[in-house]
Amino acid sequence: MRSPLFDRVAIIGLGLIGSSLCHVMRRENLASEVAGSARSAATLKTAERLKLCDRLYADPAEAAANADLVILCSPVGTYGALAGKIAPALKPGAIVSDVGSVKSTVIRDVGPHIPEGVHFIPGHPIAGTEHSGPEAGFAELFDGRWAILTPLPDSDAPALEQLKSFWERCGSPVEIMTPEHHDLVLAITSHLPHLIAYNIVGTASDLETVTEKEVMKFSAGGFRDFTRIASSDPTMWRDVFLNNKDAVLEMLGRFTEDLTELQRAIRWGDGDKLFDKFSQTRAVRRGIIEAGQETADPDFGRKHGTQRESAKKSA
């Protein structure tokens, strides 16, 4: 067993991502002690039952006290207030990071609270499922999934190296980029697809001519895949759209233009255009599978179990 990278790590927010970090830290012996904090008594109780952490606190500042690494794992809209709460407890030399799906506004909200001598290095694991809460987590979540770090221009190089090693030992290859670039890339690869899923499932359930029962009964593969994405946590995704407004609106503009082009092709019977577009998109999926970020199994490999089960099977 390799020696721990940190003496004490504090995880603030024990949902899908926070609890998965607790599991993988235990598997990889990443910390001598894991401290956790969650908002509700119910989550703290579940975390205790699941033995997610060595120590649990209702107060995030108590969890962060004496920690060498603090990772914010709650919805991004909570980060500013949380950073204000934990700031006085942070020890000099500690690293503060996060897992938020948006980076520019997190830097805007958290940055001003970080005391002199504490290293703030934002991060985002590109790993997740549509499930949330402390019971949704599992150690394999990060295996082979990218972790993006968006250090600030004056970020401490050894602290960045240590955080990079942390994610690598969690199973994630690490990519470094600017927060603005992160927000633009994620707007098209993650945020817009979620918006489209929420919208299409919403439209289907609002249709007056098709009863909700029929939507369920005849839901074909395409619609079913959208419902999976559209069942993702509403608080988390509300915060993502409120915090990545500009990049999402930019991508939504491009998406709408391309959709209008497809609409015109259907109207004018332009089969060549449709065929060319669909061939181009098929190649994109092949590329994702070849890059090891997806499985070629029908139903994204989810038909016969959850990602946790497939991960266990392939482990």
* Integer Cα distance of 89 and 235 in angstroms: 27
**Residue number with the shortest CB distance to ligand NAP?**
15
Q: Give the HSE-up count for residue 2: Cα atoms under 13 Å, Cβ half-sphere.
A: 14
Report the nearest approach of ligand NAP to the CB of residue 282 (Å).
25
Choice between 31 and 186, CB closer to ligand NAP: 186
Among 11, 17, 35, 187, binds ligand NAP (CB under 6 A): 17
Q: Is residue 100 near ligand NAP by the rule CB under 6 A?
A: yes
Q: Is residue 99 near ligand NAP by the rule CB under 6 A?
A: yes
Q: Check if the beta carbon of residue 39 is closer than 8 Å to that of residue 72.
A: no
Give Cβ neighbours of residue 22 (< 8 Å, ≥ 6 apart): 11, 14, 34, 36, 47, 52, 53, 137
Choice between 40 and 256, CB closer to ligand NAP: 40
Give 174's strand partners. 147
Among 5, 6, 61, 74, binds ligand NAP (CB under 6 A): 74
Burial of 84 (0-12, 13-18, 19+ CB in 10 A): middle
Q: Is residue 307 near ligand NAP by the rule CB under 6 A?
A: no
**SS3 at position 37:** strand
Stretch binding ligand NAP (CB under 6 A), from 69-77, 152-160, 191-199, 202-210? 69-77
Q: Is residue 71 near ligand NAP by the rule CB under 6 A?
A: no
The residue ranges that bind ligand NAP (CB under 6 A) are 12-18, 38-40, 43, 73-76, 78, 82, 99-101, 124-125, 128, 132-133, 233, 236, 240
